[in-house]
Amino acid sequence: MRVNEIFYSLQGEGFHTGRAAVFVRLSGCNLVCDFCDTDHASFTEMSEEEIVIETAKYPTSWVVVTGGEPALQLTASLVEKLHAAGKEVAVETNGTRPLPENVDWVTVSPKAAFVGKAGLPVLKKADEVKAVFGEEPLPDDPAYGIEAGHYFLQPCDTGDNERNRAITARCIDYILNHPRWRLSLQTHKMTGIR
């Protein structure tokens, strides 16, 4: 597998904010979003066994497979190997590709509002939907029909403090008027951790 990086930190956003996690960032994505902060070209080839050995170095049982787009590479056999090592497996995906059925937690972050039809999700069930709230108006259904236990809106980080404040204020106003949604802030950026 092409692995961009494996690191240990706290989950910075969504339902599991603050939870210790080993992040397995896989390289490559099928979409191009202007706000993406991942270097998709950089990777190290690793076997599934090497990935499991690396994640086992950390005391948490929570492993987050992310990207790029993890569905391009993630296999049921890697998930099984992580389970055998005592790990729970969460995936953060744009939802445009199917996932192995043995994943423990699925976070879908739909990107169709930013990249058009290429970003329409094929996944229709998830544990949480975490939609990016940007400067453009949201679609009528920011969840794109995905059935989930939790719905989060996350203000887009533009890199400009003034624009970010305006986006966050609009996001809060939207949630006040659409209370199915909850606010998700990128606490890893606020605290200066990875």
Q: Which residues are catalytic?
A: 23, 29, 33, 36-38, 92, 188
Q: What's the CA angle centered on 33, arms 30 and 35, to 5 degrees?
A: 145
Which of 158, 144, 145, 148 lies closest to 186 in space, CA to CA? 158
Helix (H, G, I), strand (E, B) or coil at 90: strand
Q: Which tokens in the block code for residue 68?
A: 């790029």
Q: At a CB cut-off of 8 Å and minimum separation 6, what does 80 contact?
A: 102
Nearest residue to 90 via CA among 132, 130, 31, 42: 130
